[in-house]
Amino acid sequence: MSGRIAKTGMLTAAGAMSGTSLDGVDVAVLRTDGHRIESFGRHAYRGYSQAERSGIAAGLGKWSGAEVAEATRIIEAAHLEALEGFRDADLIGFHGQTLAHAPRVHGTLQVGDGAMLSDRLGVPVVWDFRSADVELGGEGAPLAPFFHHACARHIGAREPVAFLNLGGVGNLTWVDPAIAAPQDEGALLAFDTGPANAPLNDLMQARRGQPFDRDGALARRGTVEAGALELFLAEPYFARIPPKSLDRNDFAEMVALVGELSDADAAATLTAMCAAGVVEAMQHCPAPPSKVLVTGGGRQNPVLMEMLRVALDCPVAPVEDVGLDGDMLEAQAFAFLAVRVARGLPTSCPSTTGVGAAVGGGTVSYPGEGMAAVQ
């Protein structure tokens, strides 16, 4: 569908997400009016090759230059391939790839040209979700919380719940589903908990030539180095009051902290650091959640999940336990946010990114029409 986006009623939106774990592109469809989730649709995954992953990784932490240009080329080509089968959507939400994130210093950089994708696919594309929030004083992340609020109401939650996304970076969304609008006071609190899979994945790639610690098998054989864990928890980030956000490489020194450890002990310690960051984060919740629902790749690491269950005072379960898809939740979030942007609804607020007021930025590009900014 290449016409204008309807301003009322349900829309079929496809969301595309490439996260900080650098594993690939997720695409997922849902039906929504930007307030309520009517239904979830089909989804697809397009993994990165090792060469593509290396090309994207070379651009991490950079704001311009040849590495950024090459990473952009890879991202755009992969998304064109991943989205080819979704031309029947009413619109596409395109997150791009975060290469650098320093909202108080430089801003935030998600590479990928949504206008080009719209022209090539013949579908309206909503993109550049973070810039307006950062320009208005927000962190620009995390952006999934408004979708998490809709999910909590969709599953019929009656008490506060927490969504814990363990991707490259960890982030927590505390939701009170009794409050109808996500931007209303008391509905949400969201922030990054600390590094999650990224340091462990980097360690596995460097030491074992593997993209991640499958089933936590290596960590299970190791012993946590208490001194390294104490140094990690002494980082000033954990004492900051949320909202707050991180770049993938903000805790790059974690790998150095475990540099002298065996592979197994290093993996165990990095896994424990991820869990410890979550435990620290839970202290900021306005009220204890009734449960923690885990999404992202970290939920598939039984060692990490065991650490969380032991350390937290409430049930911890993968989001599949309530009928959601932990592999596709982030992609679904950008489908949901795309509809909100197209309809002028807010996508972040003071309690999710620290922005001064509820804001719905973003850009809508139509095939053959260049860009039309949505304020």
Total domains, the chain: 2
Q: Which two tokens stand for residue 246?
A: 């991180």
Q: Does 122 share its domain with 191? A: no
- Is there a single domain that holds both residue 268 and residue 299? yes
The whole-angstrom separation of Cα 54 and Cα 285 is: 37
**Residue 327 forms part of a structural domain:** no
In a domain, 208, yes or no: yes
Same domain, 180 and 232: yes
Instruction: Specify whether 115 is located in the same domain as 217.
Output: no
What pLDDT digit, counting tens, does each position of 83-102 carry?
A: 999 999 999 999 999 999 88
The kind and range of the H/E element at 297 are none
- Is residue 194 included in any domain, yes or no? yes
Query: Does residue 5 lie in a domain region?
Result: no
On whether residue 334 sits in a domain, the answer given is: no
Question: Do residues 161 and 108 both lie within one domain?
Answer: no
| Statement: residue 231 has pLDDT above 90 | yes
pLDDT tens track for 40-74: 999 999 999 999 999 999 999 999 999 999 999 99
Same domain, 133 and 165: no
240-254: pLDDT as tens digits: 999 898 877 788 888
Q: What was the pLDDT predicted at 330?
A: 93
> Are 87 and 166 members of one domain?
no
Please tell me the predicted confidence (pLDDT) of residue 316.
Answer: 98
Percent of the chain, pLDDT > 70?
98
The pLDDT, as a whole number, for residue 370 is 61
Is the confidence at residue 36, as pLDDT, over 90?
A: yes
Structural domain boundaries, residue 262: 156-322
Q: Is residue 344 part of a domain?
A: no
The Cα 367–Cα 122 span in angstroms is: 5
Same domain, 77 and 179: no
Res 375: pLDDT: 39
**Is position 233 within any domain?**
yes
DSSP code per residue over 152-216: HHHTT--S-EEEEEESSEEEEEEE-TTSSSTTSTTSEEEEEEEE-HHHHHHHHHHHHS-SS-GGG
Task: Give the closest residue to 294 by CA, choosing from 259, 258, 318, 329.
Answer: 318
> Does 175 share its domain with 313?
yes
- Rounded to the nearest integer, the mean pLDDT of the chain is 94
* Burial zone of 252 (CB within 10 Å; 0-12 exposed, 13-18 middle, 19+ buried): middle
pTM: 0.93
Mapped onto helix, strand or coil, the DSSP state of residue 13 is strand
Assess whether 134 and 160 both reside in one domain: no
* CA 375 – CA 361 distance, rounded (Å): 5
Same domain for 200 and 132: no
Q: What is the pLDDT of residue 49?
A: 95
* Domain containing residue 188: CATH number: 3.30.420.40
User: Which of 161 and 252 is assigned the larger pLDDT?
Assistant: 161
Q: How much of the chain exceeds pLDDT 90, in percent? A: 87
Torsion sign over Cα 309, 313, 314, 319? negative
Residue 348 DSSP code:
B
Widest distance between CA atoms in the chain: 59
DSSP string for 200-229: HHHHHHHHHS-SS-GGGHHHHTS---HHHH
The pLDDT, as a whole number, for residue 372 is 52
Please check the confidence at residue 324 and state whether its pLDDT lies above 50.
yes
Question: Per the structure block, which two tokens stand in for 363?
Answer: 């850009």
149 domain residue, yes or no: no
Residues 186 and 261 in one domain: yes
8 Å CB contact between 333 and 129: no
Burial class (CB in 10 A: 0-12, 13-18, 19+), 262: middle
